[in-house]
Amino acid sequence: MKTFSTVPGKERSRDVACNLCLSNHYKTLLRSADFLFVKCSSCGLIYQNPQPFFADLKERYTTDYFKYEFNNEENFFGLMKLGLKDIGMDQLKPENGRGCFLDIGCATGKLMEDMRGRGWQVQGVDLCRKSAEYGWKKRKVRIFAGTLEQAAFQSGSFNIIHSSHLIEHVPDPRAFIREIKRILLPGGQAIITTPNISGFQARLFRKKWRSAIGDHLTLFSVSTLKRLLREEGFKVLKIRTWGGLAAGTAPLIIKKPADYLAKKFGFGDVMLFLVEK
């Protein structure tokens, strides 16, 4: 089954250059009624082209998106914790009892609440205003409703920045990564999780892959995301991928070894990067 995606209404769109290398040369890769993914002929980045204007795009993240996040709150939180556990950070406490944690694309703030419980000062950012309001009402966690750039945090504000399943939605991933670097403290760490188009499922399912959807503007591979992070001056500490076959696509006797192998050899369906400033 595909990931939730909005059905775009009347959006204006435009041609965009490759976000990684600025080339305008590409080949059509995946086409459906909802999207057209191209592959940069120069660096191999896979992105949607054309792309909607941001003023139109942001309208996708309203009521229906809130419902999706709200209904899947526990599920997504569980997955995030598993990812963090994999890199030994699921029970992380701030050094000397003080530390600032930012969750970008925090939805209803469940992870923020968890981190606050271990002594972190927490801040969130989410484009969906309803999610931000719900987070404050239910958990008293502060969530800025808008983009990371609009939040305009001071340089060097955070020890840890977490962003799960967000970078594939943003129109300018390079600017996004650059902003994360700016607002991290020196030595601070960022955790970025996103679907892996170099994974086994993406290769198998092509345009039917669950993460090939209209809301995902860029589909990174391990190598294209690594390149972006390194070019923006991050040191890559850990890369993990997981998920060999989605639940329901194969019997357990096949799914279990597929999951094991995907993780071991780095062709899992989702990838996580831990990087340091």
- Contact positions vs Zn ion (CB under 5 A): 18, 20-21, 23, 40, 42-43, 45
Tokens of 194: 């996103």
- From the CB of 46, what's the least distance to Zn ion, in Å? 10
- From the CB of 49, what's the least distance to Zn ion, in Å? 11
Half-sphere exposure of 15 (CA within 13 A, CB side): 7
Q: Which is nearer to Zn ion, 48 or 164 (CB)?
A: 48
- From the CB of 116, what's the least distance to Zn ion, in Å? 40
Tell me the C-alpha distance between 5 and 215, whole Å. Answer: 6
Q: Which is nearer to Zn ion, 20 or 229 (CB)?
A: 20
From start to end of the chain, where are the E strands? 13-14, 26-31, 36-40, 46-48, 51-52, 100-104, 121-126, 143-145, 158-164, 184-195, 218-219, 235-242, 270-276
Q: Which is nearer to Zn ion, 69 or 232 (CB)?
A: 232
The size of the chain, in residues, is 277
DSSP notation for 76-100? HHHHHHHHHHHTT-TT---GGG--E
Tokens of 185: 């403290």
Q: Which is nearer to Zn ion, 45 or 84 (CB)?
A: 45
Q: Which is nearer to Zn ion, 21 or 185 (CB)?
A: 21
Residue 195: phi and psi, rounded to 5, are -60, 150
CA-closest candidate to residue 146, choices 165, 123, 164: 123
- From the CB of 42, what's the least distance to Zn ion, in Å? 4
- From the CB of 229, what's the least distance to Zn ion, in Å? 15
Residue 215 buriedness (CB in 10 A; 0-12 / 13-18 / 19+): buried
Q: Which is nearer to Zn ion, 41 or 150 (CB)?
A: 41
- From the CB of 218, what's the least distance to Zn ion, in Å? 11
Tokens of 42: 């120069």
